[in-house]
Amino acid sequence: MAPAWYDRIANWNVASLFARPPPPRTGRSIFLNQHLPNDYFDDKGRVKKEHVYITNQVVTSKYTIITFLPRNLLEQFRRVANVFFLVIDILQFNSKFSTVSPGLVILPLVIVLGITAGKDGYEDVKRHQGDRRVNHSETLVLEGGNWLNHNPAGSKSKTFVKGILPRKHAQKKAISEEDAPASVPPEKDLEDESNNEPQSPHPRHSFSTSSQHTAHSHPTDPHWKRTLWEDVRVGDFVKIRNDDSIPADILICATSEEENVAFVETKNLDGETNLKSRNAVQGLSHLRSARACADIKSGDFRIDCDAPDVNMYKLNAAVITPEATFPVDLQSTLLRGTILRNTKWVIGVVLFTGADTKITMNTGITPSKRGKVERQMQPQVIINLVILVIMAVVCAIADALIEQQKYPQNAYWLYDDNRSGDNPHINGIVTFANALITFQNIIPISLYLSMEFVRTAQAAFIYFDHQIYYEKTDQSTLARSWNLSDDLGQIEYVFSDKTGTLTQNAMIFRQCSVGGRVYKGDTPDQSIMADDLPLKALRDSSSDATTPFPVEEQVPSVLTTQNIKLSASVLAHFRDAALTADLGRSVEPDADTTFSRSLNGFFTVLALCHTVIASVDPLTHALEYKAQSPDEAALVQAAADVGFIFRGKDREILRMQTPFSDHIEEYELMNILEFTSSRKRMSVVVRKLDQSDRRLYLLTKGADNVIFEHLRPDENEELKATTEKHLDEFASAGLRTLCLAYKGIPEDTYQEWALRYHEATVALEGREERIERLCTELEHDLHLLGATAIEDKLQDGVPETIADLKRAGIKIWVLTGDKLETAIAIGYSTNLVARQSNLIIVRGGDRGPQVMDQMRDAVDQFFHEAGIIESLQAKGLEIRTPEKSNKRSSFRNSISGLSDLVGSNNGNRPGGFVLVIDGTALGHALSEPSSKELLLQLAIRCEAVICCRVSPLQKALVVKLVKDSLHTVTLAIGDGANDVSMIQAADVGVGIRGEEGLQAVNSSDYAIAQFRFLKRLLLVHGHWSYARNGTMIVNFFYKNIICIGVLWWFQIYCAWSTQYVFEFTYLLFWNVFWTLCPVIAIGVFDRFMDADILMAIPELYRYGREGSWYGLRLFSIYMLDGIYQSAVVYFFINYAYNVTSTRGDGWEGYIYEFSTAMVVASVMVANVFNGLNTHAWTGWVWFAVSIGIILVWVYTAIYSLISPSAIATPVYGNQVFLFRSPIFYFSMFLAFFLALAPRFLFKAIQIQYWPTDIDILKEVRRSHPDLDFRDHLLLGGRNKGTETLSTADSSPSSRAPSRSHSYPLQALGNGRPSMEAAGRSVTDMSLGGVQSTHRGFDFASEEGGVHIRRMQSNLSERRVRALGAEGDKSDPRRENGIRHRSLALFPSLRRSVRRKVQGPKQPKSPPEPPA
Q: Just list the catalytic residues.
A: 497
Q: What is each CA distance from 741 to 600, 712, 777, in whole angstroms?
A: 12, 11, 16
Q: Are 1326 and 854 contacting, i.e. CB atoms less than 8 angstroms apart?
A: yes
Q: What is the DSSP letter of 1278?
A: B
Is residue 3 classed as helix, strand or coil in its secondary structure? coil
Q: What is each CA distance from 1120 to 264, 1039, 1042, 1113, in whole angstroms?
A: 65, 11, 10, 11
Find all residues with CB under 8 Å of 1156, minimum gap 6, and list them. 1063, 1066, 1196, 1211, 1214, 1218
Burial label, 1410 (beta-carbon count in 10 A; 0-12, 13-18, 19+): exposed
First to last CA, the chain: 65
Residues shown for the chain: 1411
Find all residues with CB under 8 Å of 1334, minimum gap 6, and list them. 1291, 1319, 1320
Phi and psi torsions of 1285, nearest 5°: -85, -30
DSSP string, 438-476: HTGGGS-HHHHHHHHHHHHHHHHHHHT-GGG-BTTTTB-
Q: What is the largest CA-CA distance in the chain?
A: 132
Phi and psi torsions of 388, nearest 5°: -60, -45
* Count of CB atoms situated within 10 Å of the CB of 688: 14
d(CA 1267, CA 1277): 11
Looking at this protein, which amino acid is placed at residue 926?
A: L
* Count of CB atoms situated within 10 Å of the CB of 339: 19
Neighbour order of strands in the sheet with 28-32: 28-32, 301-305, 317-320, 325-328
d(CA 1196, CA 1215): 8
Is residue 83 classed as helix, strand or coil in its secondary structure? helix
Alpha helices (H) along 364-509:
372-406, 427-438, 445-463
- Nearest CA to 827 among 945, 746, 991, 718? 945
- Nearest CA to 495 among 800, 815, 801, 795? 815
Report the C-alpha dihedral over residues 432, 437, 442, 445, rounded to 10 degrees.
140
Provide the sign of the torsion angle of the four alpha carbons 1203, 1204, 1207, 1212, taken in this order: positive
- Cα Rg, the chain, nearest whole Å: 38
Q: Are 475 and 994 contacting, i.e. CB atoms less than 8 angstroms apart?
A: yes
Element (H, E) at 1381: none
Bridge-based pairing state of the strands 28-32 and 333-334:
unpaired
Q: How many CA atoms lie within 13 A of 907 on its CB side?
A: 20
d(CA 1285, CA 1277): 16
Alpha helices (H) along 642-762:
704-709, 717-732, 747-761
Q: What is the DSSP letter of 1333?
A: -
d(CA 423, CA 403): 8
Question: Contacts for 6-15 with beta carbons within 8 Å, 24 or more apart?
Answer: 14/71, 14/74, 14/75, 14/78, 15/62, 15/71, 15/365
